[in-house]
């Protein structure tokens, strides 16, 4: 039986942290205290907290950067009511670009355009870089030495993933299934959609990325 005060301390740390905490982060916090925890002890405490939250509206989630406390996904419609303004949405074109980088990294912009069949807007790459979902990891040894793009830990954290292996399969796109991702971070003027694309998010991936159908398409932007 884990002491309730210990669980309270861990709960407070996870709730106060601005970023996920790793096992090592938590171990360092207690290194100079009266408590002595091994890595397995810390995992046991986190598991005990998770069990405490089983019937509550919050949960402990392990993502690429560590552990964090967050509201359970099934409560998202209620949490959304707290926002005064309707959230903006990422376009299908942006999400397809991000998906290609995630699944085929490292990849160049030209290679993304070859797969999608349309040019990739500079605003899309800029937005993904600004959100630190992607980064330049090198340059391809071909004429022009184009940048090679790959995803980051922040990308994994945002979509509640511990690693890229947790991504569901990417399927062929059919025009009839052009659903869009809802997110509150993208300015409305940057919202756009693609045409003639050839990628589909399957139902499991749609669930991961919270794709919805409420955004009107703008066929002029790619």
For residues 76 and 99, state if they share a domain: no
The pair of structure tokens assigned to 180 is: 């869009």
For residues 207 and 131, state if they share a domain: yes
For residues 208 and 99, state if they share a domain: yes
For residues 64 and 98, state if they share a domain: no
Q: 90 pLDDT band (50/70/90 cuts)?
A: confident
Sign, Cα dihedral of 97, 99, 100, 104: positive
Q: 172 pLDDT band (50/70/90 cuts)?
A: very low
What residues contact 106, with CB distance under 8 A and at least 6 apart? 137, 138, 148, 149, 150
91-108: pLDDT as tens digits: 888 988 998 999 999 999
The number of folded domains in the chain is 2
Instruction: Provide the CATH number for the domain around residue 133.
Output: 1.10.10.10
Final residue of a structural domain among 22, 47, 80:
80
- Domain membership flag for residue 193: yes
For residues 197 and 99, state if they share a domain: yes
Q: What are phi and psi of 121, to 5 degrees?
A: -60, 140
Q: What is the rounded CA–CA span in Å between residue 38 and residue 147?
A: 42
For residues 131 and 152, state if they share a domain: yes
For residues 74 and 133, state if they share a domain: no
For residues 100 and 76, state if they share a domain: no
- Domain membership flag for residue 87: no
What residues contact 145, with CB distance under 8 A and at least 6 apart? 139
> What Å distances lie between residue 22 and 10, 13, 162, 166, CA to CA?
12, 11, 12, 19
Does the pTM surpass 0.75? The reply is no
User: Which 3 state secondary structure label does DSSP give 69?
Assistant: strand
- Domain membership flag for residue 150: yes
- Domain membership flag for residue 218: no
Final residue of a structural domain among 32, 58, 80:
80
45-59: pLDDT as tens digits: 999 999 999 999 999
For residues 11 and 111, state if they share a domain: no
Residue 96 contacts residue 190 (beta carbons within 8 Å): no
Final residue of a structural domain among 30, 58, 80:
80
The pair of structure tokens assigned to 166 is: 């947790």
User: What was the pLDDT predicted at 92?
Assistant: 85
For residues 162 and 198, state if they share a domain: yes
For residues 55 and 30, state if they share a domain: yes
For residues 199 and 170, state if they share a domain: yes
Q: 36 pLDDT band (50/70/90 cuts)?
A: confident
> What Å distances lie between residue 90 and 7, 59, 182, 210, CA to CA?
38, 26, 6, 11
Most distant CA pair in the chain: distance in Å? 63
Task: Look up the domain containing 106 and give its range.
Answer: 92-212
User: What was the pLDDT predicted at 82?
Assistant: 82
């Amino acid at each position: 039986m884990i002491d309730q005060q210990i669980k309270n301390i861990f709960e407070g740390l996870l709730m106060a942290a601005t970023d996920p905490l790793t096992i090592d982060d938590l171990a360092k916090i207690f290194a100079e205290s009266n408590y002595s925890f091994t890595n397995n002890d810390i995992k046991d405490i986190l598991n005990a907290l998770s069990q405490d939250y089983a019937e509550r509206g919050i949960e402990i989630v392990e993502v690429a950067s560590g552990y964090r406390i967050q509201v359970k996904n099934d409560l998202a419609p209620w949490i959304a009511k707290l926002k005064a303004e309707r959230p903006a949405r990422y376009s299908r074109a942006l999400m397809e670009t991000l998906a290609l980088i995630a699944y085929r990294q490292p990849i160049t912009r030209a290679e993304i355009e070859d797969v999608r069949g349309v040019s990739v807007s500079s605003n899309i790459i800029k937005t993904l870089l600004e959100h630190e979902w992607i980064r330049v990891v090198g340059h391809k040894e071909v004429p022009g030495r184009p940048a090679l793009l790959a995803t980051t830990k922040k990308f994994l954290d945002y979509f509640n993933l511990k690693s890229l292996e947790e991504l569901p399969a990417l399927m062929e796109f059919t025009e009839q299934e052009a659903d869009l991702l809802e997110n509150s971070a993208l300015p409305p003027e940057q919202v756009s959609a693609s045409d003639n694309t050839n990628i589909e998010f399957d139902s499991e991936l749609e669930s991961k990325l919270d794709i919805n159908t409420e955004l009107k398409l703008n066929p002029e932007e790619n």
